[in-house]
Structure 1
Amino acid sequence: MSASPRWVAYDVLRAVDETDAYANLLLPRAIARAGLTGPDAGLATELTYGTLRRLGTYDAIIADAARRPIADVDPAVRDALRLGVHQLIAMRTPAHAAVNETVRQVRKAVGAPAAGFANAVLRRVSERTPQEWDDHLAAAARSDDERLAVRFAHPVWVIRAFRRALAAEGRADELEELLAADNAAPVVTLAALPGLAERPAEATLTPYSPLGFRSAGGDPGALVTASGGLVRVQDEGSQLAALALARAQPVADGERWLDLCAAPGGKTAVLAAEALAHGATLEANELSPARAGLVRDSVSAVPLEVPVSEEDGRVRAGRGRYDRILVDAPCTGLGALRRRPEARWRKQPVDVPELAALQSELLSAALAALRPGGVVAYVTCSPHLAETAAIVADALRTADGAVEELDARAVVAAIATDPIDLPAPADGSGRAQLWPHRHGTDAMSISLLRKR
């Protein structure tokens, strides 16, 4: 097949649909293989991520225009139609170009009869403006949440989880702002590992992380390569989460640290640099051998030996006693929907209880492995209260006074280079919750627990 941006986007969408591939991992490789650069690479990126972000809305439009349930549309045709609708609705591509390109793609990928069907569907789609489609779908919604789901392309259950999390801070009125932020492409943020690399003088500094910056231009990957790995692409919220553990309290010489669920290794690298600067040691663990390899690669530039084990974290934590442990727990990933747009359509409410049980067990194992006075940072890239506040509250109840919660908001505020808006949750906890719309970061939740 041709290596055009449209074909690259189509092939990635097919892989996401058929094999549950992650677009953020697959797309860069597909762009490189196709030899796309500059505007062509940008077009492939916009087609892929833009379509995945608004998949639910586009499926509703296709089902309406096709006059059949979306599940009844051939998957290979469906993905091409999604790309076509994105061009018509979001990119404002002229109708004749979007329709003709998509029809040609369907004819080549599936066959002539399917091309005729695609032509009919897209011509019906083009008969309404984006605003008219918005109004049409909103009129068919059965509730305010369904209207928000269509307008902002988020599943209803995610919208409700976000509303509850914002309401816990007294900020439920920010919901639409959050949903809109989830649909905006994130700005690439980099980190200069502390004590090992400097932020470039011409770079734009991030407002909160003392390690973070945004490139003045050019390919961030080239900057990473030139630094030998001491500069890395990393969300500012991830940087703050690692620093919160390293700087929660003064470091005593010879401390022993553990990153319990370390992949892909960004936070591990920050912890390694901090450990090196303060005379601490660091160990890492990751259950998946392939992902453990990512952790080894991530810390390879730091002149500190960081052994990486490949065990269940609930078992691994018990193999030693530690002064600081990072539990960056497996979660729904609802806080990173800007970067992993397909996640919103993959996760279901039934996933949360199973993940919450694992999160509780990992946190319990980490607390048991702490030395007196030691600190655990419990971190999730999700604001869902069942994965954040509920897990910490349960751990504190179970500890029955043997563990105290530190004020993570105060720790993060002390690290931040600019004032940071972190309202106190209604439950009185010290949890720090970051948000895409408020802080420009992933929706990272950070709690700090200390063993008495």
Structure 2
Amino acid sequence: MSRPKRRAVDPSRLAAFEVLKAVRVDDGYTNLLLPALLARHGLAGRDAAFTTELASGTIRRQGTYDAVLAACIDRPLRKVEAKVLDALRLGTHQLLGMRVPTHAAIDTTVTLVRDQVNQGAAGFSNAVLRKVASQDLDAWLAQVAPDDLAVAHSHPAWVVEELRRALADRAEELPELLAADNDAPRVTLVARPGLAARDELPGTPTPYSPYGVVLDGGDPSSVVAVAEGRAGVQDEGSQLVALALAAAPVDGRDERWIDLCAGPGGKASLLAALAAQQGAALTGVELHHHRARLVARAASATAGLAGVVQADATRAPFADASADRILLDAPCTGLGALRRRPEARWRRRPADVTELVGLQRALLAEAIRVLRPGGALLYATCSPVLAETADVVTAALAEHPQVRLEDVSAHLPAVPDAEGPLPGTVQLWPHRHGTDAMFLALLRKA
């Protein structure tokens, strides 16, 4: 008697499983891992979109799903084999977070576990997922997280508290913000001025940036202007950072612009295009060689890029008071970009804030040294955490009495409801503006 033929593993589920493993084992980044894995498994179109949501959504909602799985397993999750737990999380997301039929979600996950682990683990996974499927997400949340925003919205508790503090007197918006962090981000394109027009890009115009569109679907690399480097993929919040600096008035000459932390090159590319239109040129500074190459490649289509310098921006290779405009998009926790960096919430620790604040203060002091009197300096972070935003700027103003804080909101008049934690600063929010939670502060040396 011939044995029944074993089911083949679904390539979409296998690719998502490999993403979770690489994130867990190699500290990989979901958005960087996906393109290569999609290509390796021959996934495109709807299959690629399914895999992307399966991997990214599972990582975003990991905290919630682990609470559900803990209620369905009679031993601590730490004692479940890591590969099996990865697969169970994928199955749980299909059951509770995607429109996948119950039988398909369970059967494909069990097949995946059988192929990647063993038959015993497959039987265990089948039993667990049938328990998960016994209730919908709302019912599970009522059971495992009736009054716990961190579990219900899948954020570490310390992150929830930092976001609550950043919302200040509008803390009632916290559930809405946490929910927005779990939404799949829209793909936004930017037409680099002087190189491309917004109306040649497919999609819906962005509400605040005159150069952006939200892509309706498809692969952005298939857009001609993107393939030619005349346009790029860039969140609208990042576009607004570049636009605010370019719009700020300066006294006297306006020729030398610097992006002190330019990698991987999105803001530098837009700034270089804007600089060219204003008769200026941008120099990018990047510490890491591979990121410096990305900056040069991203901005290669514009004449506004003077060059890319590989250097430590805390010891920038520029003379005192030599730059007319400076962008300091400082390294940060990235807690304002959790939609597109799903693994960041699980990797960051409170100690990271302290370490990054020290770096941010050193970078800002160096930017102030290089800025000439009358020039404009924009300090930005993709984090709303007060230690990285208001506290860094307040410390710089105290240490450098020749520097004053100006109203950056005046240069973004189309953006509503974006008051930052300091007068004149801007704080964008995913739940209010549909952007990453970018913070902007405009400084000028008297």
| Alignment TM class, shorter chain as reference | over 0.9
Q: How many residues are paired up?
A: 437
- Opposite residue 379 of structure 2, the aligned amino acid is Y
Give the match for residue 4 of structure 2. Answer: none
**What are the superposed Cα offsets for residues 164-187 of structure 1, whole Å, 9 maximum, x if unpaired?**
1111xx321211111111111122
Displacement of 1:156 after TM fit?
0.9
The amino acid of 1:377's aligned partner reads L
- Partner Cα separation in structure 2 for residue 209 and residue 105 of structure 1: 44
213-222 vs 341-350, which deviates more?
213-222
* Residue type of the alignment partner of 2:235: D
Aligned partner letter, 1:195? G
Quote the residue 2:5 is aligned against: none
The one-letter amino acid paired with 2:33 is L
Q: Which secondary structure state, in structure 1, belongs to the residue aligned with residue 257 of structure 2?
A: strand
Matches for 1:197-276 after TM superposition, within 5 Å: 197-200=196-199, 203-215=203-215, 217-224=217-224, 228-250=228-250, 253=253, 255-276=255-276
Distance in 2, matches of 1:305 and 1:245, equals 16
Q: Does 1:137 align with 2:147?
A: no
Per the alignment, residue 105 of structure 2 pairs with 98
Aligned-residue identity in percent: 53
Identify the match of residue 422 of structure 1 among 418, 424, 434.
418
2:115 to 81, 89, 108: 108
- Tell whether 2:125 aligns with 1:118: yes
**Contact 2:204–2:215 at 8 Å: present in 1 too?**
yes
Distance 1:311 1:56, change over 3 A: same
The offset of 1:107, in angstroms, is 1.1
TM-score normalised by L of structure 2: 0.94
Question: 1:306 aligns to what SS in structure 2?
Answer: strand
Q: Which residue of 2 aligns with 1:292?
A: 292
The answer to whether the 8 A contact 1:327-1:363 is kept is: yes
| 1:379 positional shift | 0.5
Q: Which amino acid aligns with 2:417?
A: D
> Structure 1 residue 409 and structure 2 residue 409: aligned?
yes
Return the alpha-carbon distance in structure 2 between the equivalents of residues 388 and 406 of structure 1: 15
Gaps of 5+ in 1: none
CA–CA distance in structure 2, aligned partners of residues 78 and 255 of structure 1: 55
Q: Check if 1:175 corresponds to 2:200.
A: no
CA contact 1:181–1:436 (8 Å) conserved in 2? yes
Residues 56-111 of structure 1 deviation map (CA, whole Å, 9 limit, x = unaligned): 11111122211222222111111001001111111243332222211111111011
Aligned to 2:367: 366
Which residue pairs with 2:56 in the alignment?
49
Q: Is the 8 A contact 1:260 1:317 kept in 2?
A: no
Distance 2:129 2:116 in 1: 17
Moved over 6 A (4+): none
Counterpart Cα distance in 2 of 1:109 and 1:74: 12
User: How many Å separate the matches in 1 of 2:204 and 2:159?
Assistant: 33
Contact 2:379 2:442 in 1 (8 A): yes
Maintained 8 Å contact 2:87/2:112: yes
Cα deviation code 1:303-351 (max 9, x no counterpart): 2343111111101154562111111111000011111111111111111
Q: Which whole-Å CA distance do the structure 2 matches of 1:225 and 1:255 have between them?
A: 27
User: Residues 317 and 366 of structure 1 are in contact (CA less than 8 Å); yes or no, is this contact kept in structure 2?
Assistant: no
Q: Which residue of 1 aligns with 2:47?
A: 40
From 12, 20, 26, give the equivalent of 1:19. Answer: 26
Instruction: Specify the alignment match of 2:342 in structure 1.
Output: 341
User: Which is worse superposed, 307-316 or 217-226?
Assistant: 217-226
Contact 2:338 2:344 in 1 (8 A): yes
2:423 partner amino acid: S
Counterpart of 2:91 in structure 1 is 84
Deviation at 1:217, TM superposition (A): 4.9
Deviates more, 1:34-43 or 1:225-234: 225-234
Alignment of 1:309 onto 2:299: no
For 1:27 and 1:424, the matched residues in 2 are separated by 34
Q: Is the partner of 2:372 in helix, strand or coil? A: strand
2-structure distance, mates of 1:97, 1:424: 47
Quote how far apart the aligned CAs of 1:199 are. Answer: 0.8
Whether the 8 Å CA contact 1:336–1:381 is kept in 2: the answer is yes
Map of 2:3 onto structure 1: none
Checking the alignment, whether the CA contact within 8 Å between 1:239 and 1:270 is kept in structure 2 is yes
Q: Tell me which moved more, 29-38 or 264-273.
A: 29-38
Quick check: 1:68 aligned with 2:75? yes
Q: Which amino acid aligns with 1:370?
A: L
The Cα of 1:253 is off from its aligned counterpart by 4.7
Aligned letter for 2:256? R
Q: CA deviation at 1:118?
A: 1.4
Are 1:382 and 2:389 counterparts? no
CA contact (8 A) 1:237 1:442 kept: yes
Report how far residue 251 of structure 1 moved. Answer: 7.6
In 2, Cα distance between equivalents of 1:28 and 1:59: 27
Q: How far apart, CA to CA, are the structure 2 residues paired with 1:354 and 1:286?
A: 19
| Partner Cα distance (1:245, 1:260) in 2 | 13
